[in-house]
Structure 1
Amino acid sequence: MDIAPSPFIPPAPKPRTSPPSTLEMIRIVYRNPLELWGEPSYNEPWISVNGVGGPLVIANDPGLIRHVLVDNAKNYKMATVRQKILRPILRDGLLTAEGDVWKRSRKAMAPVFTPRHIFGFAGPMLKRTEEFVTRYEEAPGTVDVAHDMTLLTYDILAETLFSGEIAGEPGSFAREIDRLFETMGRVDPLDLLRAPDWMPRLTRIRGRKTMAYFRKIVTDTVSMRTERLARDPGNVPEDFLTLLLRAEGPNGLTRAEIEDNIITFIGAGHETTARALGWAVYCLAEAPWERDKVEAEIDAVLAREPDPTKWLDAMPLTRAAFDEALRLYPPAPSINREPIEPETYKDLYIPKRAAVLVMPWVVHRHRKLWDQPDAFMPERFHPGNREKIDRFQYLPFGAGPRVCIGASFAMQEAIIALAVMLSRFRFDTVAETKPWPVQKLTTQPQGGLPMRVTRR
């Protein structure tokens, strides 16, 4: 009789058994916030304490999460600390804008992310991935999968949303993205203490050169398309970039808002999918019994179904493996809100200006919500099981009015990328593969993901 293998337990910080001192907490938050959370965070429905910067509520209960993100979302704005980190990078992009600016941006982008448009992106996604993986034919051996996924998702983003017309060179783009998140993507201790804005933040000073690099890419990209629209308006692709520029005007977006949204998508937008793909490939390599199932499914579907728009629905095991990687390593590990007015949920009092943290990293590993929460078990998301998961205990794309507008785009992109890569190549860990999850806006593998690639 076959004995089922023990589930793979991917690397993650162990929950703290005692609270850190204030100084230690500031140091941990700067270095890696994922290492901050203690046993109560993974066991209690919510925690309410007085933190360094004021009242702090950690929301783990799906009912409370729904209340904050959906039912009473109008009483919650983006948290001050989160805005201090992200706004210097994204300014009035969709992730950081609020009020009328956010509404205008969301309305302008909505047509790009309809099912019809997303299905239309499947062909270019497939083409770019097939071109990308030829590098593994030419140079088999050890590669950094984390770095490669950044390049691949950049290629896909450039082709689909910008019709291949992004200024700048992909290799330098990937390097600068890493540098940006290493500097400006970290929590600055002064932000945690809610220090006045006039006090200089070292993280932001270190990131100025990189930020200028991205701003130049955006300005040059917009200039290229604007000139093309003026020169030959009837022969311009109706992509994300064109739709944004057509939304410019007195009742639409300003030029600055357009540029902010472009930098949001070429920075944060592609980065999240890249990280999720890297972690998925890594987890499958460490759980070959799961990889065998995924490879068999991909081979069967590709043999009978050439249309990539059908793959997401036709590959439930592949999707389940990706969903499980998203659970263990949510690209956006923290959702931060702040109540405009004080309120009470059940017996929890939430004071005005409290930092309310909904942390997918913690919720996805909560002892009361998941069986064997630290294990890589894609069967949680197999058909018949995934329907039992509460909508508000699994939040890789957030929830409510500010749910990720590109969620369907990202899922289609990920399944196409995995199908192409895993149908042709096998990725295995090597002695140097020792990733450690670190929160720098996204959940990144410190040390990269060096892996051996061989032809299947």
Structure 2
Amino acid sequence: MDIKPAPFIPPAPKPRTKPPSTLEMIRIVYRNPLELWGEPSYNEPWISVTGIGGPLVIANDPGLIRHVLVDNAKNYKMATVRQMILRPILRDGLLTAEGEVWKRSRKAMAPVFTPRHIFGFAKPMLDCSLDFLKRYEEVDSTDISHDMTQLTYDILAETLFSGEIAGTPGGFNAEIDRLFETMGRVDPLDLLRAPEWLPRLTRLRGRKTMAYFRKIVADTVAMRKEKIARDPKAAPEDFLTLLLRAEGPDGLSRDEIEDNIITFIGAGHETTARALGWTIYCLAEAPWERDRVEAEIDAVLAREPDPVKWLDAMPFTRAAFEEALRLYPPAPSINREPIEPETYKGLYIPKRAAVLMMPWTVHRHRKLWDQPDAFMPERFHPGNREKIDRYQYLPFGAGPRVCIGASFAMQEAVIALAVLLSRFRFDTLAETKPWPVQKLTTQPQGGLPMRVTPRR
């Protein structure tokens, strides 16, 4: 009789057994907020306390999460602390815009992310992934974390911008890491809700990087506008062209267009890159799961050349990616703030309270998941996936502000995994000791160095 191996437990901070002091909390939040949360955050439906920045509600209950993000979403705005961190980078991009600005941006981008358009992206996604394989033909080890950042950048540049982004991809990758290291982190003054005019010393180092990104965007827009002016029919019908066509008194301003470009070439590809890296790492540490995924990929690629159909034809591959998204959600916290006070099932939520719905803790909650710290893709196999509450699994958020690119990311991930794992096998090395750190995304500190071996 076959003995089922014990599931792989990937690295993660252990829940704290006692609350930190104020100074310790500030230090932890700046260094790595994932290390802050204690046992109650992984066991209770919600926690209501008064922190150094005022009232704080941590929402883990799926019903409460649905109430905040969907049922009573009109009473909740983006949290002040979150906006202090992200707005200096993204300004009025889709992730940070509110009110009418957000509505205009969402409406302008919606046509790009219809199923018809996303299916049309499958072939470029496949071509980019196949071209990317060339880098592994003459190497025996690589940092998968860095590689996936490059691959998802290539895919995004080709699909949403038709390969017409100014600057060099290599320089972009270095600068995006520097941007999230400097500006995408919580500053102690943010926790204290200090006025925005007070300079955040932790972000001053990021100004040069931010200027670099703004120049890339300005040059990219200028290139496309020049092409449209020469011959309107020559411009590709992509994300960039649609944004520029939405410019006008009743549409998007030039600043809003540039903010959304930064949002997508920055945060848009970074999230998928991190999830792909964690997936390959987890499969390497759970070879019995990798064997199942490789067998599925081999079988599908042998009979189905159309990448549009791979997402539905590869449930085990998709499940491995979804399980990595559960353990290492790219966006580990969702923050809201009530406009007016309210009560939910006896929980009083005061005005201006910081309401945190953290996929990091919700996805590892003891009352919601069996063996929550283990890598177990079978949770998402057909027949099991349907049993998971919509609001206990939030890799793309929920409600009106659900990630507009969720379907794009899922298709991209399965195509990339199918191509990579069909040709090469990735194994961990002695120095592969990643530690999850929350910056703008959940990143592997120390990278993901891995051995690369041709499969055939």
Provide the TM-score with structure 1 as the length reference. 0.99
Q: How does 1:307-322 map to 2 (within 5 A)?
A: 307-322=306-321
- Counterpart of 1:61, as a letter, is D
- 1:209 deviates by 0.5
What is the rounded CA distance, in whole Å, between the counterparts of 2:199 and 2:244 in structure 1?
Answer: 34
Instruction: Please list the CA deviations of residues 390-415 of structure 1 after superposition, one character each: whole Å capped at 9, or x if unmatched.
Output: 00000000000000000000000000
- 1:300 deviates by 0.1
Which residue does the alignment assign to 2:242?
243
Which residue does the alignment assign to 1:346?
345
What is the rounded CA distance, in whole Å, between the counterparts of 2:195 and 2:213 in structure 1?
Answer: 27
Extract unaligned runs of 5+ from structure 1. Answer: none
SS of residue matched to 1:133: helix
Which residue does the alignment assign to 1:224?
223
Instruction: Please list the CA deviations of residues 403-444 of structure 1 after superposition, one character each: whole Å capped at 9, or x if unmatched.
Output: 000000000000000000000000000001000000001000
- 1:141 deviates by 1.0
What is the rounded CA distance, in whole Å, between the counterparts of 1:200 and 1:106 in structure 2?
Answer: 31
Which residue does the alignment assign to 2:118?
118
- Counterpart of 1:446, as a letter, is Q
What is the rounded CA distance, in whole Å, between the counterparts of 2:342 and 2:153 in structure 1?
Answer: 43
What is the rounded CA distance, in whole Å, between the counterparts of 1:329 and 1:433 in structure 2?
Answer: 17
Instruction: Please list the CA deviations of residues 339-387 of structure 1 after superposition, one character each: whole Å capped at 9, or x if unmatched.
Output: 0000000010000000000000000000000000000000000000000
What is the rounded CA distance, in whole Å, between the counterparts of 2:207 and 2:133 in structure 1?
Answer: 34
Whether 2:18 is the aligned partner of 1:44: answer no
What is the rounded CA distance, in whole Å, between the counterparts of 2:327 and 2:432 in structure 1?
Answer: 18
Instruction: Please list the CA deviations of residues 293-336 of structure 1 after superposition, one character each: whole Å capped at 9, or x if unmatched.
Output: 00000000000000000000000000000000000000000000
Q: How does 1:183-332 map to 2 (within 5 A)?
A: 183-332=182-331
What is the rounded CA distance, in whole Å, between the counterparts of 2:198 and 2:399 in structure 1?
Answer: 34
Instruction: Please list the CA deviations of residues 114-173 of structure 1 after superposition, one character each: whole Å capped at 9, or x if unmatched.
Output: 000000000000001000111101x22110000000000000000000000000111111
Instruction: Please list the CA deviations of residues 234-290 of structure 1 after superposition, one character each: whole Å capped at 9, or x if unmatched.
Output: 111000000000000000000000000000000000000000000000000000000
- Counterpart of 1:74, as a letter, is K
- Counterpart of 2:393, as a letter, is Y
How many residue pairs were aligned? Answer: 455
SS of residue matched to 1:158: helix
Which residue does the alignment assign to 2:60?
60
What is the rounded CA distance, in whole Å, between the counterparts of 1:213 and 1:112 in structure 2?
Answer: 27
Whether 2:163 is the aligned partner of 1:164: answer yes
Instruction: Please list the CA deviations of residues 20-58 of structure 1 after superposition, one character each: whole Å capped at 9, or x if unmatched.
Output: 000000000000000000000000000000011000000
Deviates more, 1:86-95 or 1:195-204: 195-204
- 1:198 deviates by 1.8
SS of residue matched to 2:205: helix
- 1:200 deviates by 1.0
What is the rounded CA distance, in whole Å, between the counterparts of 1:404 and 1:322 in structure 2?
Answer: 17
SS of residue matched to 1:134: helix
SS of residue matched to 2:204: helix
What is the rounded CA distance, in whole Å, between the counterparts of 2:168 and 2:354 in structure 1?
Answer: 39
What is the rounded CA distance, in whole Å, between the counterparts of 1:198 and 1:225 in structure 2?
Answer: 35
Which residue does the alignment assign to 2:4?
4
- Counterpart of 2:139, as a letter, is P
- Counterpart of 2:2, as a letter, is D
- 1:107 deviates by 0.1
Which residue does the alignment assign to 1:29?
29
- Counterpart of 1:421, as a letter, is L
- Counterpart of 1:157, as a letter, is L
What is the rounded CA distance, in whole Å, between the counterparts of 1:395 and 1:291 in structure 2?
Answer: 24
Which residue does the alignment assign to 1:395?
394
Which residue does the alignment assign to 1:423?
422
What is the rounded CA distance, in whole Å, between the counterparts of 1:383 and 1:155 in structure 2?
Answer: 31
SS of residue matched to 2:419: helix
Which residue does the alignment assign to 1:358?
357
Which residue does the alignment assign to 1:71?
71
What is the rounded CA distance, in whole Å, between the counterparts of 1:140 and 1:166 in structure 2?
Answer: 28
What is the rounded CA distance, in whole Å, between the counterparts of 2:59 and 2:134 in structure 1?
Answer: 45
Which residue does the alignment assign to 1:93?
93
Whether 2:80 is the aligned partner of 1:103: answer no
Whether 2:430 is the aligned partner of 1:435: answer no
SS of residue matched to 1:438: strand
What is the rounded CA distance, in whole Å, between the counterparts of 1:319 and 1:4 in structure 2?
Answer: 21
SS of residue matched to 2:272: helix
- Counterpart of 2:91, as a letter, is R
- Counterpart of 2:73, as a letter, is A
What is the rounded CA distance, in whole Å, between the counterparts of 1:203 and 1:67 in structure 2?
Answer: 35
Would you identify which runs of 4 or more consecutive aligned residues in structure 1 move more than 3 Å? none
- Counterpart of 1:224, as a letter, is M
- Counterpart of 1:53, as a letter, is G
What is the rounded CA distance, in whole Å, between the counterparts of 1:230 and 1:178 in structure 2?
Answer: 35
What is the rounded CA distance, in whole Å, between the counterparts of 1:399 and 1:223 in structure 2?
Answer: 35
Q: How does 1:365-380 map to 2 (within 5 A)?
A: 365-380=364-379
SS of residue matched to 2:249: coil
- 1:223 deviates by 0.3
SS of residue matched to 1:241: helix
- 1:196 deviates by 1.3
What is the rounded CA distance, in whole Å, between the counterparts of 2:61 and 2:12 in structure 1?
Answer: 22
- Counterpart of 1:113, as a letter, is F
- Taking only the aligned residue pairs, the percentage that are identical comes to 88
What is the rounded CA distance, in whole Å, between the counterparts of 2:428 and 2:321 in structure 1?
Answer: 18
- Counterpart of 1:454, as a letter, is T
- 1:204 deviates by 1.8
What is the rounded CA distance, in whole Å, between the counterparts of 2:420 and 2:112 in structure 1?
Answer: 27
What is the rounded CA distance, in whole Å, between the counterparts of 1:199 and 1:91 in structure 2?
Answer: 18
What is the rounded CA distance, in whole Å, between the counterparts of 1:341 and 1:399 in structure 2?
Answer: 21
Provide the TM-score with structure 2 as the length reference. 0.99
Instruction: Please list the CA deviations of residues 198-255 of structure 1 after superposition, one character each: whole Å capped at 9, or x if unmatched.
Output: 2110122110011011111000000000011111111110000000000000000000
Which residue does the alignment assign to 2:82?
82
What is the rounded CA distance, in whole Å, between the counterparts of 1:236 and 1:260 in structure 2?
Answer: 21
